[in-house]
Amino acid sequence: MIDGGLITVFVSNMERAVAFYTETLGLKLQYRAGDDWASIDAGKGCTIGLHPSSANSPAPGTNGSLQIGLNVNEPIQQVVNALKAKGVAFNGEVKNDEQGGVKLAFFTDPDGHELYLCESKWG
């Protein structure tokens, strides 16, 4: 059902954030899509996703600006339904990205920490 994941960090400046995580911390840049996204390999299966902050996202350094993403290895709606049956409350419906390659479903843990499920056509 859940198979791996990443930590999404909302950032105010992509260049500065990538430089910090790669040059300062010495982590490996896995993938970069200009100023829209960067994946950083933190080792031993931990990936940090850098995402630019916008009017629709939490401001960097504030509550919600770090989110835990959990990859699913079966259809996301099936996973959502299974978790709802266990009492998980989701924040709205499953969302599709503009290109149709990623589906996301957002929820919180019992302490209010933000998490999301991710189904990606790229695995």
SS3 sequence of 49-65: EEEECCCCCCCCCCCCC
Please, which residues have CB within 8 angstroms of residue 20's CB and are 6 or more apart in sequence?
Answer: none
pLDDT at residue number 62 = 87
Assigned token pair, 114: 């933000």
- Contact of 23 with 17, CB cutoff 8 Å: no
Please, which residues have CB within 8 angstroms of residue 81's CB and are 6 or more apart in sequence?
Answer: none
pLDDT band, residue 123 (cuts 50/70/90):
low
Assigned token pair, 34: 């200009």
- Contact of 51 with 37, CB cutoff 8 Å: yes
In whole angstroms, what is the distance from residue 64 CA to residue 61 CA?
A: 8
Higher pLDDT, 120 or 100: 120
pLDDT reading at 81 higher than 90:
yes
Report pTM: 0.75
- Record: fold of 2-120: 2,3-Dihydroxybiphenyl 1,2-Dioxygenase; domain 1 (3.10.180)
Side chain identity at residue 50, one-letter code? L
- Contact of 68 with 114, CB cutoff 8 Å: yes
